[in-house]
Structure 1
Amino acid sequence: MPNGYSSVVWVEHTEIVGEEKPLHQVFKDYVASGSAFGATRWVSLLQRQCERLASELARNIADLGVIRTPEARTNMMKLSQRMITSFSANISASGSQSWTSLSETTEDTIRVTTRKNTDPGQPSGVILTAVSTSWLPFNHQKVFELLADEQQRCQLEIMSSGGSLHEVAHIANGSHPKNCISLLRINAASNSSQNVELMLQESSTHPDGGSLVVFATVDVDAIQVTMSGEDPSYIPLLPLGFAIFPAANPSAAATSAAGSGDGQSSPAGNADEPASGCLLTVGMQVLASAVPSAKLNLSSVTAINSHVCNAVHQITAALKGAGASGAAEPAAAASE
């Protein structure tokens, strides 16, 4: 355009997957509404990526903490981008990975998969990944704020391991204050001045595109390499995190559809349930064995399954404890 901006018109034609790879019930309404793969979502992701790119190219932004040079800033952003890309690819069911359900019940969405890695950029060995998606009766932004705030997240025992977090570097990469990259020092009782643990975190949100909070532990030597301007592509990362998307109550939609199918009026779900909330996906990865040829131990599967379940439980409990301000609007009952 003459003013230097770009006008984007995006039209999306989406084909819903067939019976050979059916959607889990928790996703059906979200996908059918167009929210998952529709043009609005893709445009929002494009807007968010443009914001991030503008931040990466900027040279007049005053970052906080230990980042001293433009080269260090660029490297930190590249390292964080690789972390996001790795997390998204490894929790996705759209690739060639084979996922296994740990339960036959339709309510349980936990799936696990393994891969043997010898490539640089990730730990070498057998990597076990677990993913679970739950619908929560809480506002999408409230859930994001809880998980993106490292101090609030430390209140979740399953996510903190008894330690606190202190931000030592901060890169803003978007208009929202929580669109940022943080380098956090893990303050654990086992740490000393000679043994410092660090965590790289990126959080990102957009009203139409949902939100991400992804983090990975990194050692001090790796960060020093990154800050010196050297290539950070070989630094091993094993990220975990959360994806949060605004979504209608699946049970309310199912109840409404059932009522319309038999010609009888039916309330849209339980009147005590909110009509809207969010889908929370929890993705965790662990190095089950440092030997790529090793066989997976059942205890590793049991442990990561328990970890995911406890994380969802503690997040839900924390949101309930935050009071009604975090809850979505209740569904309106049908008139008698």
Structure 2
Amino acid sequence: MSKLAQQMSDYFWSGICPSSASQWDILPINNLGNGDMRIMSREIQDAFGETRSIVLSASTSVWMPVSRQKVFDFLCDAQMRGEWDVLSNGVHEMVHIAKGEGIGNSISILANSGNMLYLQDSWTDSSGSMIVYSSISMQSLSMLMNGGDPSSVPLLPSGFSILPDGHSNNNTLVETSSDGSGSSGSENDNSGCLLTFGLQMLLTSLETSKLAYESVYTINELISCTIEKVKEALGVEY
């Protein structure tokens, strides 16, 4: 599970900050009216080397006048997921695997009322915080629990990175209590952070000459709506 979570997070980062080796094509979205968003695409292939479909990856960054720890705690809370995830429905945590001293540093399996499963990887330290998630099938989960190869599990990761804004005392301290457990230290309530949200979508149909405008419009709307919901839930004025 840890290897799969790392694979998922690596794939997420390649989609919001790609290198020349990532083979993403940047799409022009001037007509969508959101100049702060970047949308890219790339082809993925099946096991036989034949093109199967196209993945869209979109991301945007906003400054939040809220402490990084508060944003991280809110986004990690499965019970609060319905406040920002427009696709969720009654999410609860099934499995929790701690992977560090700090509270929230963990790998989780989440499930919604429709029996859809999500793998979630979250981490926070003094350099920044992240929450990455992807849907995962029960078949893939069973295969993993029986010693299967994590690299064979298909993933479409989305998530958040939360970075210091560079202008405020925004470090997250990890304190160790007498029983050895970790806890997050306090932050300046007046601090802010830079929130980046990245979303990936698999297109079910291909057009040989160009991407369907509807798909680009949909991912643009999902990104914008999610950011608006996070701001609303945290009391950030538009």
- How does the TM-score come out when normalised to structure 2? 0.80
**Other-structure match for 1:173:** 99
**Other-structure match for 1:116:** 43
1:1-336 equivalent positions in 2, closer than 5 A: 76-95=1-20, 96-103=23-30, 108-118=35-45, 124-156=52-84, 159-161=85-87, 163-187=89-113, 191=114, 196-207=115-126, 209-248=127-166, 276-291=191-206, 295-320=210-235
**Other-structure match for 1:256:** none
The alignment of Structure 1 onto Structure 2 pairs a total of residues equal to 212
Change in Cα spacing, 1:100 to 1:275, as seen in structure 2 (3 Å) is farther
Following superposition, the deviation at residue 232 of structure 1 comes to 2.2
**Greater relative contact order, per chain length (Cα 8 Å cut-off, separation 6+):** 2
Following superposition, the deviation at residue 106 of structure 1 comes to 11
Change in Cα spacing, 1:292 to 1:223, as seen in structure 2 (3 Å) is farther
Following superposition, the deviation at residue 168 of structure 1 comes to 1.4
Given that 1:116 and 1:293 are in contact with CA atoms closer than 8 Å, whether structure 2 keeps it comes out as no
Query: Any unmatched runs of 5+ in structure 2?
Result: 169-188
Measured in 2, the distance between the counterparts of 1:103 and 1:147 equals: 30
Following superposition, the deviation at residue 197 of structure 1 comes to 1.6
C-alpha RMSD of the superposition: 2.8
Measured in 1, the distance between the counterparts of 2:11 and 2:29 equals: 24
Name the structure where strand makes up a greater proportion of residues.
Answer: 2
Name the structure where helix makes up a greater proportion of residues.
Answer: 1
Following superposition, the deviation at residue 178 of structure 1 comes to 0.3
Query: Any unmatched runs of 5+ in structure 1?
Result: 1-75, 251-273, 324-336
Change in Cα spacing, 1:197 to 1:296, as seen in structure 2 (3 Å) is same
Measured in 1, the distance between the counterparts of 2:227 and 2:196 equals: 9
Measured in 1, the distance between the counterparts of 2:25 and 2:64 equals: 27
Given that 2:25 and 2:42 are in contact with CA atoms closer than 8 Å, whether structure 1 keeps it comes out as no
1:284-329 deviation per Cα after TM superposition (whole angstroms, max 9, x unaligned): 01012355957410000111111111111111111117x9xxxxxx
| Structure 1 letter corresponding to 2:74 | L
| Structure 2 letter corresponding to 1:153 | R
Following superposition, the deviation at residue 276 of structure 1 comes to 4.3
1:20-69 deviation per Cα after TM superposition (whole angstroms, max 9, x unaligned): xxxxxxxxxxxxxxxxxxxxxxxxxxxxxxxxxxxxxxxxxxxxxxxxxx
**Other-structure match for 1:271:** none
Following superposition, the deviation at residue 275 of structure 1 comes to 7.4
Given that 2:41 and 2:56 are in contact with CA atoms closer than 8 Å, whether structure 1 keeps it comes out as yes
Change in Cα spacing, 1:226 to 1:294, as seen in structure 2 (3 Å) is farther
Given that 2:81 and 2:88 are in contact with CA atoms closer than 8 Å, whether structure 1 keeps it comes out as no
| Structure 1 letter corresponding to 2:111 | R
Measured in 2, the distance between the counterparts of 1:231 and 1:212 equals: 25
Following superposition, the deviation at residue 215 of structure 1 comes to 0.3
Does the residue aligned with 1:320 lie in a helix, a strand or coil? Answer: coil
Given that 1:248 and 1:275 are in contact with CA atoms closer than 8 Å, whether structure 2 keeps it comes out as no
| Structure 2 letter corresponding to 1:201 | Q
1:192-246 deviation per Cα after TM superposition (whole angstroms, max 9, x unaligned): xxxx321100110012x10110000011010000001121211100010000001
Given that 2:76 and 2:104 are in contact with CA atoms closer than 8 Å, whether structure 1 keeps it comes out as yes
| Structure 2 letter corresponding to 1:235 | V
Given that 1:101 and 1:109 are in contact with CA atoms closer than 8 Å, whether structure 2 keeps it comes out as no
Runs of 4 or more above 4 Å deviation: 104-107, 290-294
Following superposition, the deviation at residue 104 of structure 1 comes to 8.7
